[in-house]
Amino acid sequence: MPGSAGDVIEIRGLRVIGTHGVLLEEQERAQPFELDLDLAVDMAAAGASDDLGDTVDYGAVSQLAADLVGGPRSYALLEALATDMAGAILGLDPRIGAVTVALRKLRPPLPVDVATVGVRITRSR
């Protein structure tokens, strides 16, 4: 049975501490970020074989995303961080046809009471 174009690996609620933002205080003081990732991957082979080698290793994808958020580079904009992350994830495994990155700052320094701010982007091959 062939895989579906709608096959998706979901990674939800990945939390990482990073230093990203426009304000100087955001670049100097680490803050929490949360990610959701959707990977468009044909899962027919993995579904038939039950073998990790036949699918995308979502542990590796999670680690790559965590390394980008928690790494030494500081991004001013969530848009730029999400774009770089999507490109890196697409480059990780050719079986990933598309990726959606939802990236949220959990404690944004805004003068109003807001739980999170974030971006969601989708990139494909």
Q: Is 47 a known active-site residue?
A: no
In whole angstroms, give the CA distance from residue 32 to residue 34: 7
**DSSP H helical segments within 30-103, as ranges?**
44-49, 58-70, 78-92
Which candidate in 78, 102, 105, 116 is catalytic? 105
Do 125 and 99 form a contact (C-beta atoms < 8 A)?
Answer: no
Residues assigned a catalytic role: 105
